[in-house]
Amino acid sequence: MGVESATVNAPQPRVSVLMAVYNEPAARLRQAIESLSAQTFRDWTCELIDDGTESRETLSVIEQAVALEPRLRWHREPHQGLTGSLNRGLELCSGEFVARHDTDDWSEPDRFERQEAFLDAHPEGVVGSSIWLHREDGTPLWVQNHPAAVMEAFPRMNPFCHGATMFRLSMAREVGGYRQE
């Protein structure tokens, strides 16, 4: 059973990881959570928004992970879809930065460390990275690079892979979070 674990006097993490879960296959979810625990940057908590999961297998993985990783904060919510879950998660995040991490993602161990350092040096508000695309079984396919000229790319495309971004929480809240459209 999920419990909101925010404590009034608890120190705030530097990075809040935002992950929405809905009936994710166990192996993929387990791999995503393990890649969080393997991060070299340790000052993070994860707001794991359970979007009304019905899968007993998914719930079991979450229960086990929460028991093993104290930085995971499990929030059971009624099913509202990804956008609603992410907006609920932004309400719960308390770190200066938010790292998005989807349930089918796994991050390199130094991802948070590198992105946090970049945002410390650049006030622009968001950072992303190139990504490896994989088959369902984990076999690597190719690297997807994103344009270096991010601002010029926006009119044509979204230059970020959402699950590889980190951004300033204050700026996300300032623009009203994720658009429902």
Lookup: tokens for 158: 């979204």
**Cβ atoms < 10 Å from Cβ of 148:** 8
| pLDDT value of position 45 | 97
What is the spatial distance between Cα 84 and Cα 51, in angstroms, rounded to a whole number?
A: 9
Q: Please give the distance of CA 167 from its chain centroid, rounded to a whole number.
A: 11
For CA atoms 77, 81, 85, 88, give the dihedral sign.
negative
pTM: 0.83
| pLDDT value of position 6 | 45
Q: What are the 10-residue block averages of pLDDT along the chain, 181 residues in total?
A: 50 94 93 93 97 97 97 97 96 96 88 93 75 57 54 60 79 90 80
| pLDDT value of position 107 | 86
| pLDDT value of position 127 | 74
Lookup: tokens for 134: 């994989």
Helices (DSSP H) in 77-134: which residue ranges?
A: 81-92, 111-121
